[in-house]
Every structure is written in C-alpha cells, then in structure tokens.
Structure 1
Amino acid sequence: MRYAMKKEVRSIELTPDELRNMQMNMLEILIEIDRICRKHNIKYSLDGGTFLGAVRHKGFIPWDPDADIVILRKDYLRFKKVCEEELNHDCFFLQDYQTDKNYRWGYARMLRQGTEYVRAGHEHLNTKNGVFVDIFTMDSVPDSSVRRVIHKFLCYCIRKALWSEVGKVVHPNALLRIYYGLVSKIRRDTLFSARNKLAKLCNKNDQSILVRHMCSPHPKKHSYGFPRKLFDSLSEYEFEGYKFLAFTDYDWYLTSIYGDYMTPPPEKDRTSHIPCSRYTFIEPTLLQKP
C-alpha cells in the first residue's frame, strides 16, 4: 500500500528571537481582525492559549507559536463578507475552504502575506501557507442529549476525514495509515458539503444552549460544546500593549480548560505544540505604538 511507510517528521526549533518575530507577525493579524470586527460590530473572542496569555502574561505565552480567536458562524459570515472590501489584501489573506481550493481544515485562518510557516508533517499539502491566526467558527449544538451524542460523532468523523490527507503520511500506526489513505479518497468538497449541511441543520436553532467548532477537538469537559451565553458579554483585555476582546467570564472559561491556569507548567513542558519544518518571518512593519 502506498502509505504503509511512515514519513519521518523533522521539525525546526525556533530561537527565542525567531519565535518573538513570529508572534509579532501574528499580532499584526490580530490587530487587523480586531480593527475590522470593531468597525462592523462583529463579536469575537480571543481563545485558548491566546486568551490564557492575555490574562496571565498580558500578551503571548512566551513559548507559544500560536494565536486563536473564536467567532459564531453568523458573525464569521459577516466578517468574511466585509473582508472582501475592508481587509488589507496586500498584507493579509483570509483562508478557508472556499478561498483556497486545497485547504482541508474546518476552520478559517488569517495569513500574514510575505511569510511562510509549514507545519512538520504537512509539507505535502498544496495549500497557501504563512504565519497565521486560527479563526474557530462556532455552530449550534442540539439541545437533546441523544442528538448531542450523534452530533459529536458526526463532527469527529468529518474532522478525521479532512485530516486523512495528513494521517495517511504521519500516523504512527501502519494500519491506520492505510485506513486514512483510503479515507483521503473522499473528495474534499464532499466533506465540506456534509459539514455545511450539518451546520445549517443545527443553526436553525440559533438559541441553542451550546455551541462548538465542528472540525477541531474540544477539551474533555466541553466535548459537546461551550455555553452560547459566553458570547453575550465581552470585555477588553490587554495583549502586547493593545486591547482585544474576549469573554468577560474569563475565570470560568480558563479554569474549565486549564485548571489552575495562573500557574505556568514546569519548564520542561514549556514547548511548542506546533512544530514546523520550514518558515519565513518578516519585520512586523504594521505595528504602531499603542
């Protein structure tokens, strides 16, 4: 079978200066997203480690080469529409399955033009790449407990099918590499069509108790989704000297994900979870003194 042999994944360790340069490129992206969202009254929140960094470090977690925001589907569609005219296209590119025919992830990304960032094990993917901020889009989750279980399973299947193009090369288990090689034959557009139909069906209830990003894993405590009411109240948080929006109830949110979130992990665990094999960063020329 073509993908029986596992590809050796080689990653590059960034120097502290390189990592900081990358973070500043991501900061440029966050500033542009925030500018557009505020101008058009579009709700978003910092998410994951980016939100944690805002609360604990007032900026990036020092060892984290990652930035995330989260946004409801209806707001993302508005954001995408206004980006056609509003986005600085010379500097940024809004990437999703519609703007990049080879993109396989179920969430969007904003890329910094002029940069490159190739994740280790993803070298064979023919997608546009660069330093990015992930934009996780939240969809409604059924309120019925039985339908929630079915919904979670369908989300898992779609996510793994989209990931199969990577799994067939890098998964450590030979049989699963063969399995993912077969699954990868499913057309990308077919998978996104299934995702969109499921999202449309669920989003008929725009007052559901829970919402979730359908094509990325959730923390165990929130495996079905997060409370929609989090989006009802947003506050400003200092981040690298700028102000960004995030859920007002930061303590509940971060505690439910990280536990004792104000205590940094042991030094041996302060490593990147997104190893890269090739990169190009640029001077963050768009940053201005806040």
Structure 2
Amino acid sequence: MKEIATIAELRSIQLAVLDHITTYCDKHGIVYFLACGSLIGAIRHKGYIPWDDDIDLFMPRESYNRLLAAYRDPDPRYALLAPGRATRYLYTYAKVVDRRTLVVEDEVPGYELGVYVDIFPLDYVTDCRWLRRHVVWKYKKFIYRMRRCKMQPNFLASRWRYLLYRYFPLPLRAIDSLIGHTLTGHKPTGTVCNMTEANALERECFPAHCIEGERVEVDFEGKRYKTMPGYDEYLHHLYGDYMQLPPVEQRVHHHFAAYWRDA
C-alpha cells in the first residue's frame, strides 16, 4: 500500500466523495447541509479550515432515512456505510467512503475503512432543557455505551462490559433498532440535534427553524454546496464568534493514517 502522505492529497479524495454524495442527493431530492467545521470553513475561509482534515454533512432524519434506503452504491469507487448496512459497523452515523483507500484512526485502533465524508442525521428533541439534560442525554449515553460494548468481542475486558453482557443480552441489531425507535424524534418540536453522539452537549441542540426553508449555497474549495438557511444562527449558537480564529493550541487535526489500497 502507498501512504496518502499529504493533506492536499487526502482532501482531494474527500472532495471527490463529497461531490459524489451531493450530486446523488441533488438528483434524488435528498436534503443535505454542509455542517460543523466544514461550514465554518466555507464561511470563514471559503474552503477547509486550514488545519482541518474532514468533511461533515447534516441531513434531516427523513432525508437521512431515504438515503440509507435508496442508495445502492451506484459508483463502484464509493460505498455508504451505516448501522445495519455494514457488518459490525462501529459508528452510529453514516459515512460515504472511497473503497480504494484505507484509513486507520487512533481513536478506534484496528478498525479500518476508506477515506470518508461523515453524514449525521438531525432529530427533533424535546424543547425542555431539563428533560434533555437529566433524562434524554443519560438514557442516550447508556444505550450507546451498551452498543459500543457489544462491538467488543471480549466481554470480560471490563466490569461494565460484563454487566451489559450478563444482564442485557441483546444482539447488536436489536440495540440499533432500539436506538432508532427511542432516540429518533418523530414529532416536530422547536429544537433539533445530532443524536448520534454518545456524549451530546446541550449546545449541540439548536433551533429547528435554522434548517427550515430554502437552502442557501456557500463556497467550499472552488465549488458551491448547500447548507441550512439559518447557518449564521446555528454557527453562533454552537461556536460563538465563529469568524474569529481559535487559540493556536485548539487548532488540531484528527489523528489517522491513510493509504491507497492497491498501490
């Protein structure tokens, strides 16, 4: 295998994945939003944040589910990975990956996939902050911790893992189904959130009206991509004065190694 040694080469692969999935979504009427650090980069730098090395998309839950149901790997270079679509898939959200590449990340040693673009569903959540903080988040963290433990083959590796194995003998598919039925917001509220993260923060919830209405286009690495109409309110809510550069010590990138599989 040949290492993908430069960030420029890595980004070129990611951008090709982004073009593939956004073209597919536009063709099939699936709504997506450039999001998170990728959206900050688009607004502040008209491309990647200089030290960033990934791309994030949000989708309303309805569009996210449509994508998972309809996408059938139309281009052999790419694959859509998500719980239920890939065997023992570690993550709780979707990724579109370049099959020709290999990525091994420090936070999940030994788990391999291709260079990717992340796709996170947005779900409605209760507007009550007290309920989110004291009920929803705690329940969600428990369910996701149980799922992660089920992904590990050695149930004796920790006391927590053993207790889950002993008293909650649910298969992984059942846990994923439980997540889908209990953490997915089916009734509109005034608040949306990315519920796929085990340790969701209160600030990651933002007003639902930010994603309602006609999307707008933003510049990203010389092309135009769609994002939510209320992007400015969303970014201020999540990051504060997002047009200001963070302190140098916070300008960090992900840690992983990337390779071409057939080189």
Whole-Å separation in 1 of the counterparts to 2:16 and 2:234:
25
Deviation larger for 186-195 or 109-118: 186-195
Greater Cα shift, 237-246 or 148-157:
148-157
* Structure 1 residues 143 and 23, CA gap change in structure 2 (3 angstroms): same
Offset of 1:190 from its aligned partner? Answer: 3.0
| Paired position in structure 1 for 2:139 | 154
User: The residue matched to 1:133 in structure 2 has which SS?
Assistant: strand
Identity %: 25
Per-residue CA deviation, residues 224-278 of structure 1 (Å, 9 max, x unaligned), is x322222213210010111111122222211222222112223343221x211x3
SS in 2 for 1:238: strand
2:22 to 28, 34, 47: 34
List per-residue Cα deviations over 1:77-124 (Å, max 9, x = no partner). Answer: 21223322xx43311100011111111322111111101111114233
Task: Provide the secondary structure at the position in 2 that maps to 1:134.
Answer: strand
Give the Å deviation of 1:159: 2.4
- Matched to 2:162, the amino acid is L
1:228 aligns with 2:231: no
Q: TM-score, normalised by structure 2?
A: 0.84
Q: In structure 2, do the counterparts of structure 1 residues 268 and 58 end up closer, same or farther at CA, with 3 Å as the change threshold?
A: same
1:251 and 2:251 aligned: no
1:266 match: 247
Alpha-carbon contact 2:122-2:195 (below 8 Å) kept: yes
User: 1:210-225 to 2 correspondence within 5 Å?
Assistant: 210-216=191-197, 217-222=199-204, 225=205
Alignment partner of 2:162 out of 179, 182, 193? 182
| Alignment partners' CA distance in 1, 2:108 and 2:53 | 17
2:54 aligned with 1:54: no
The whole-number CA distance in structure 2 between the counterparts of 1:45 and 1:55 is: 13
Report whether the alignment pairs 1:103 with 2:103.
no
Which secondary structure state, in structure 1, belongs to the residue aligned with residue 113 of structure 2? Answer: coil
Structure 2 residue 80 is matched with structure 1 residue 94:
yes
Which residue does 2:113 correspond to in 1? 129
- Aligned pair count? 250
Amino acid at match of 1:95: L
Q: Which amino acid aligns with 2:259?
A: T
Report whether the alignment pairs 1:23 with 2:11.
yes
Q: TM-score, normalised by structure 1?
A: 0.76
Give the aligned residue type for 1:162. R
Give how far 1:162 is off. 3.0
The letter of the residue matching 1:152 is W
Gaps of 5+ in 1: 1-13, 170-176, 283-290
Q: Which residue identity is paired with 2:95? A: R
CA 1:129 to 1:250, structure 2 compared with 1: closer, same or farther past 3 Å? same
Check 1:161–1:37 CA distance in 2 against 1; reply closer, same or farther (3 A cut): same
- Residue 63 of structure 1 pairs with residue 51 of structure 2: yes
